[in-house]
Amino acid sequence: MTRASRARRLATGAAYGGGSVGLAGVAMVALLREQARAARRKVEARTAKADPPTGNGLYGRRRGKPLVLAVLGDSSAVGLGVERAAETPGVLLAAALAELAERPVRLVRLAVSGAESRELDEQVDRALDEHPDVAVIMIGANDVTTRTRPSTSVRHLREAVGRLTGAGAQVVVGTCPDLGTIRPIGQPLRLLARRWSRQMAAAQTIAVVEAGGRTVSLGSVLGPTFAQDRGLFSIDEFHPSAAGYAAAAAVLLPSVADALGVWPAVADRGLRTLRRDTVRPVAQAAVRAAGRTGTEVQATEVRGSDTGPRGPWARLRRRRPPDLPTPDQAERAEQTTVG
């Protein structure tokens, strides 16, 4: 079975045998379980006990009807591990969008630390009350660490994206990060965590694109880059630091801005394409994107058709991450806060 067909089976909820890896014997299973428990104890002992402030409110000093940015997902969307609202991905994105759009942006952070994909439904209920122009979702890591069946996780994500796009919102999903770089996780569990998280990211991409959204790979942003620079992790060595969240937000920003029609075309000039054939069947695009920094995947057409012999068409893009406002600049862009 190819990686693309495996991702497709996970994304569509088709039966996928026993485990996503071949585990050799009871002794190996016991070892992996103990490693998982030990890693969780280390992370929980060091993880910040309180979320940072939401930063909810208006950003940008220009006049006009505010764009509404809703941020959903888990602790990565919350910004767990930093103390200032201005260091969280939602605030960084809102401040940057206000500059690009030249109009105010209202941030509504609805993400919940510890959330799994099955808990997105409640977040979407609250988001729809806010009538968002764009929703950013960062989810998946907790589904992997709890070993939730991938097809179940992806089904919940697909439904969440479908409800948001059905209500007229643009949706950008930062796919599951690469958990193979988490220092408290030992081998061989670390190797398996990387495989599981990349499978999750690929399956998420297929589901999101088919539901009308677009994805951006965070796997390699929170992967090789983090592995080389421990300063991108917070003290628990699991959640990003302020610099880490800024790196993730910079990768997401071009796709969020483009979804709203405010990303300048000049910013993409001279960029290298992934390959000459950047349009592929969505399952192949998803697998390719899962391990490549900041790769965006969205639906497209070929010769007037959105579907080929191997399924829906998708376009891959890799944009240069822009410079974001610093936390101090983001605070200065803030007009009012509500939490």
Q: Catalogue the active-site residues.
A: 75, 236, 239
- Chain-centroid distance, C-alpha 229: 20
- Chain-centroid distance, C-alpha 14: 23
Q: Which of 257, 261, 272 has its CA nearest to residue 320? A: 272
Strand partners, 215: 173, 297
DSSP code per residue over 265-306: GGGGTTPPPSSS--EEEHHHHHHHHHTSTTEEEEE--BTTBS
Q: Are 323 and 242 in contact (CB under 8 A)?
A: no
Sort 184 into a burial class: Cβ within 10 Å, 0-12 / 13-18 / 19+: middle
Q: Which of 113, 57, 118 has its CA nearest to residue 330? A: 57
Q: Which of 68, 273, 297 has its CA nearest to residue 174? A: 297
Q: How many CA atoms, within 13 angstroms, populate the side-chain half-sphere of residue 322?
A: 21
Q: Which of 302, 265, 266 has its CA nearest to residue 281? A: 302
For Cα atoms 197, 160, 116, give the angle at the middle one, nearest 5 degrees.
45
Q: Which residues fall within 8 angstroms of residue 250, CB to CB, at 6 or more apart?
A: 321, 322, 323, 324
